[in-house]
Amino acid sequence: MYIETERLIITRFTRAMAHSHHANSLDADNREFLSDEVCETVEAAGNKIAWLAGFYENADGPLVYPVLLKNGSHIGHVQACPIQEGWEIGFHIAAAHTRKGYAAEAVRAFLPVVMRRLAIRRIAGICRRDNPASRRVLEKCGFVLASETPGVCRYQFTENIS
């Protein structure tokens, strides 16, 4: 996978990204909203990268790809993960790089590529109700609120075939 946008590159993880993946995973929002994605050590990040890279050659998932700035700085990731109802989009941009539109830019670029690879027309976006930043990203990228419970918002994106 290699996707290039105006400001970003989405590509495959390498072990060399263990330090940046570790650092990116430790920010407060990641701990609060995606605690299962926190890598407490560089070694844990390297092991996680090796495990994730094992899914690149098949479509079992999760399919997780680092988001880099054009200068090569690793600032987060975007992903498609299997869920009971199909697939879910996920994303994280490190705190130092938020509020710059990177998450929406990465999701917009990633969606058509990953949906084509998985041969799907629909993908979910699920986030906590108290995570307005993720809700805004999903809405900016064309996801529609499908259901809302006291703790969780479920969004749906359907590919527009014309």
Q: What is the pLDDT of residues 112-147, one digit of tens each?
A: 999 999 999 999 999 999 999 999 999 999 999 999
9-33 pLDDT per residue, tens: 999 999 899 998 888 888 877 667 7
**Residue of higher predicted confidence among 48 and 32:** 48
Which residues, 6+ apart, have CB-to-CB distance to 97 below 8 Å? Answer: 69, 75, 76
CATH number at residue 12: 3.40.630.30
Q: How many separate domains does the chain show?
A: 1
| Residue 76 belongs to some domain of the structure | yes
| Residue 159 belongs to some domain of the structure | no
| Residue 111 belongs to some domain of the structure | yes
| Residue 8 belongs to some domain of the structure | yes
| Residue 132 belongs to some domain of the structure | no
**Bridge pairing between strands 152-158 and 144-148:** antiparallel
| Residue 152 belongs to some domain of the structure | no
- Tokens at 14, concatenated: 């390498």
**Bridge pairing between strands 8-10 and 63-69:** antiparallel
Q: Model-level pTM?
A: 0.90
| Residue 104 belongs to some domain of the structure | yes
Print the domain residue range for 108: 3-121
| Residue 154 belongs to some domain of the structure | no
